[in-house]
């Protein structure tokens, strides 16, 4: 499962090898100062919208990679077996938001909230 971690002054989406293949992308790094808000999502997969390029998406199963929709660029790593997650809204980064499925989204949100 992907992880959101703070390394120095960066927020990193750390991917497993299979997720790197699915996303056609390596780790995503954004300045921690770019984080504007962190929201817990009960249905993270449903929050991913837009055209995928690059990455993979299987409706109801997974969304991994970069998605473009309604002027919003999203990097997502969500699988059906991890339905809950977080949405990290960004400003001044390569992405407008990150959506990552996680086991304990409240803990992730609290940890990321302390970086702002």
> Tens of pLDDT along the chain (116 residues)?
899 999 999 999 999 999 999 999 999 999 999 999 999 999 999 999 999 999 999 999 999 999 999 999 999 999 999 999 999 999 999 999 999 999 999 999 999 875 54
State whether the Cα torsion 91-34-87-21 is positive or negative. Answer: positive
Check residue 55 and give its pLDDT.
96
Task: Please tell me the total count of domains within the chain.
Answer: 1
Which residue range(s) make up the domain with 95? 3-113
pLDDT at residue 113, as a whole number = 79
pLDDT at 115: 53
Q: What is the pLDDT of residue 114?
A: 58
Question: Do 20 and 26 meet the contact criterion of CB atoms below 8 Å apart?
Answer: yes
Neighbour count for residue 37 (Cβ, 10 Å): 14
Can you give the C-alpha Rg of the chain in angstroms?
13
């Amino acid at each position: 499962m992907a992880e959101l971690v703070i390394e120095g002054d960066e927020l990193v989406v750390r991917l497993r090898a299979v997720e790197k293949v699915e996303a056609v992308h390596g780790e995503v790094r954004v300045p921690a100062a770019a984080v504007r808000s962190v929201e817990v999502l009960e249905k993270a997969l449903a929050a991913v919208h837009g055209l995928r390029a690059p990455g993979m998406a299987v409706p109801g199963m997974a969304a991994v990679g970069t998605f473009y929709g309604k002027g919003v660029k999203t990097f997502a790593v969500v699988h059906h077996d991890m339905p809950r997650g977080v949405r990290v809204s960004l400003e001044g980064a390569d992405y407008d938001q990150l959506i990552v499925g996680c086991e304990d989204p409240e803990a992730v949100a609290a940890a990321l909230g302390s970086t702002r």
